[in-house]
Structure 1
Amino acid sequence: MSAETDPLTAAVGTDTGETPILRAEAVEVAFSSGVGPGGGRGTARAVDGVDLDVAAGEIVALVGESGCGKTTLARTLLGLERPTGGRVLFEGAPLSHRSRDLRDYRRRVQLVQQDPMGSLNPRRTVYESVVEGLRIHEGTTVDEYERVARALSRAGLRPPERFLSRYPHELSGGQRQRVVIAGALILDPEVLVADEPVASLDASVRGEILRLMLELRENLGLSALVATHDLGLAWNIADRVAVMYLGRVVEVGTVEEVLSAPEHPYTRALLSVLPDSGVEEGPVVLGGEPPDPKRVPTGCRFHPRCPVLASGEAERAGVADMCTSVDPEVLAGGPGHRTACHWAARVGGPESPRTVEGPMSS
C-alpha cells in the first residue's frame, strides 16, 4: 500500500496538502559539554537537524534508545528548550519564545509526563493537581469545578467526584497517570506531547492508557507526539513512526511501513529483539561504543555499530566508503517512507525512499 493511498494516512491529513498542526523544521539543539576533543570547548548535539510533522488528529511515535535525543526534541516542540538552529512551527506560524506567546502556546500544546508519582505533588489532592494549569492561565473561574470534573471524566476517572479529594498515594499507578492526563486536558489543548507515557506503569494497565489516548484522538480530535523506546507501544497507538538515532531521524513512515518493513539497519536491530517481529535474521546485537552526542562520527552516524557494514553487505552493495565518509541527507517531513541510509537507498532500487505494504507478522 503506498503512502498516497493509505487510508489511515489520508484520514489524519498528512497527505492532503494541509498545513501540519506541529512541525519541526531543521531543528538543532546543542549543549555545552565542557572540554571537547583537542582541548576546546565541547558541544553535545542532542538534536542535529530534524524535520518532523504532526498532522491534525494524528499520533506520531518518536522512537529510539535512551539518549537518542527524543526527549530533547519533545521539550523543544513544547517550547521548553530553545532550538540553537531551525525552528518550530504551530499551524504554520513560527513559535515565538516571548513570554506572552509561549503562555498562549502552552495552552494549546500540553505535556504528559512519564512519571506520575514524581510529577504529582503528594500534598495536593487530585482536584488541586488538575486545576493548577487552569488557575495559572485563567485564575479562579466560576466554572472551575465543572472543568476539573470534565477533565477527570475525559481521562477515564468516573465518576470524577470519587477522586477529587484523594491524594496521589491513594491512587493506583494507572489512576495517577490519568490524573496527569486530566491536568493536560483541562485547558482543552490541540496537541499532547507525551514522554514515555506508560514506561513507569505495570504491563496490566499500559493498554488502558494507550486506549485512552486513542479515545482522546477520536473524541476530541487531539494530535499527539509520543516519545518512547517501546516499539510495541508505537505499533498499537501510532499512525506514523519516526526513528531517532544520535540526534537525527533515520527512518520515518506510516507505522505499517516502518515496523512491518524496516529499511534502516538500526530500525531492523530495534525490531529484531521483539517476538514475531518478522526480521528474518533474528535478534541483532549492536556492537561498538554507545552513541555519544559529543562525538558524532563522520559519514553515517550509525556506521560504527552498523551490522550491514560489519557483515560486508554494504561493501558488496558498493556503498561502504559512503557509509564512513558521507552523511546521509536529513529526512524531509511530510508523508512517505524515508530512510537515511546509503545501503537502503542502493538495495531499494533507483528510487528511494520506496513504499512497502503488509502488516507485522503475528
Structure 2
Amino acid sequence: MTTPPPLLSAQGLHVTFPGRHGGAPVRAVDGVELDVRPGEIVALVGESGCGKTTLARALLGLVPPAAGAVRFAGKPLEYSSRALKAYRRRAQLVLQDPSGSLNPRHTVYDAVAEGLRIHGYAGDERAAVTDALARAGLRPPERFFLRYPHELSGGQRQRVVIAGALVLEPELLVADEPVASLDASVRGEILALLLRLRDELGLAALVVTHDLGLAWNIADRVAVMYLGRIVETGGVEQVLTAPRHPYTQALLSVLPDAPGDPVVLAGEPPDPSRIPSGCRFRARCQVLAGGEAERAGVAERCRTEDLEVLDGGGEAQVACHWARARVAT
C-alpha cells in the first residue's frame, strides 16, 4: 500500500519570540519537521515549556513562523485574513479548558452555531448543530440547546467544544491537552469519542499532551518534543515500548506500570533563548551523567555536535548520538 501524502506538514519550522529586555530571542520552535496524514492521530508529547503548544498554534496559523513553512493539503499556508479564515474551517482547535473556551452567556446552541455564523453557512443551521451535538455524544441534542455552560458537567462542556469544531466538518482537529482538566472517569469517554470520530469521519488529529498514557491509548504515531525540537518519533507502540532517546525513557519511567526505578531528571529544561551546544538534552541526560555515553565513545559528540532535524515522516527516528551508537554496534 502506498502511504498517502500528508494532510498537514511542518517543514523546517521555526518560531521565535523577542527576548526579555532586548536579550537573545526565544527559540520556542527550533526546526521542526512533522507530518499528519489523513485519518491519522499523532500525539505530540513533552514537558510543559518544550514548545509543543507553540508548534500547534503555528500549525493552525495562529503564530507566524520565523522560518520554514506550514503546508495543508499540499499547499503552503497563506496568512491573509481570507486565507486563514478558509483554512480554519478545515482545521479546528480544541482547547484544554472547556470552561474557558465557552462563553458563559451563550447557550449550547449558540456556542456550536457560532462557527457557522462566522463562516456564513448557507444551509440548515439547526440541522447542522443537531448533527454536531449528536456526533459529539450529546443526545438527544435538542435537550442541550438552551442550556448554559454552568449547567453542564466538565465532560459535557468538552463535548460541546468538540461539537463546535465538528459543525464546520473539518478535516483536522488540533487538540491541546483535550482531557487534562477532566476527571479520570470522563477522560476515557472523550478519548473514545475522538477515536470514533476518526473512524466515522476520517478525521485526522494532532493531540498535544504531556501524558504518555493518553498517547498510548489514542495515537497511531508519537512525536516527542524537547526544547523546541522533536527528538524521537515513530509508531506509538514502537516508541512507547522500546524508547531509544534518554528523554523518552525518563518520561516513560514515571508511569505507574513502568518497570524499574523512575528516572529523575536533574534541573529544569534550559532557557530556549540559550540552547546549549551539542545535544540539547545533554545537561539533564542520565546516560551522559552515568558514563554510558563515555563508554559508547560518543560523550564528546554529545557535548559539542548538534543533531540534525528529524524527518517529518512516519518512520522511527531518534536524535541521540548514544542511541545511534547502540544501533551501529
- TM-score by structure 2 length? 0.98
* 1:360 equivalent in structure 2: none
Q: Deviations over 1:22-44 (max 9, x none)?
A: 00011000000223xxxx63210
* 1:286 equivalent in structure 2: 265
1:276 to 248, 251, 257: 257
Asked if the contact 2:227–2:269 (Cα under 8 Å) also holds between the matched residues in 1, the reply is: no
Q: Deviations over 1:145-164 (max 9, x none)?
A: 11001000000001101101
* 2:88 equivalent in structure 1: 106
Asked if the contact 2:28–2:228 (Cα under 8 Å) also holds between the matched residues in 1, the reply is: yes
Structure 1 position 124 matched with structure 2 position 106: yes
* CA spacing shift, 1:142–1:28, aligned 2, 3 Å: closer
Q: Deviations over 1:27-76 (max 9, x none)?
A: 000000223xxxx6321000000000001000000000000000000001
Indicate the SS of the match to 1:42. Answer: coil
* 1:80 equivalent in structure 2: 62
Structure 1 position 45 matched with structure 2 position 31: no
1:31-180, aligned counterparts within 5 Å?
31-35=17-21, 41-138=23-120, 141-180=122-161
Shift of 1:123: 0.7
Shift of 1:333: 1.1
Q: Deviations over 1:58-113 (max 9, x none)?
A: 00000000000000000011110111010000011110111111111100000001
Q: Match for 1:341: what amino acid?
A: C
- TM-score by structure 1 length? 0.89
* In structure 2, distance between residues paired with 1:227 and 1:63: 6
Q: How many corresponding residue pairs?
A: 329
Q: Deviations over 1:115-161 (max 9, x none)?
A: 0001101111000111001100015x450011001000000001101
More displaced stretch, 106-115 vs 96-105: 96-105
Shift of 1:327: 0.7
1:30 to 11, 16, 19: 16
Q: Match for 1:297: what amino acid?
A: P
Indicate the SS of the match to 2:165. Answer: helix
Gaps spanning 5+ residues in structure 2: where?
A: none
Indicate the SS of the match to 2:105. Answer: coil
Shift of 1:275: 2.1
Q: Deviations over 1:187-225 (max 9, x none)?
A: 000000000000000000000000000000000000000
1:3-14, aligned counterparts within 5 Å?
none
Q: List, as ranges, runs of 4+ consecutive aligned residues in structure 1 with deviation greater than 4 Å.
A: none
Quote the RMSD (CA, aligned, Å): 1.1
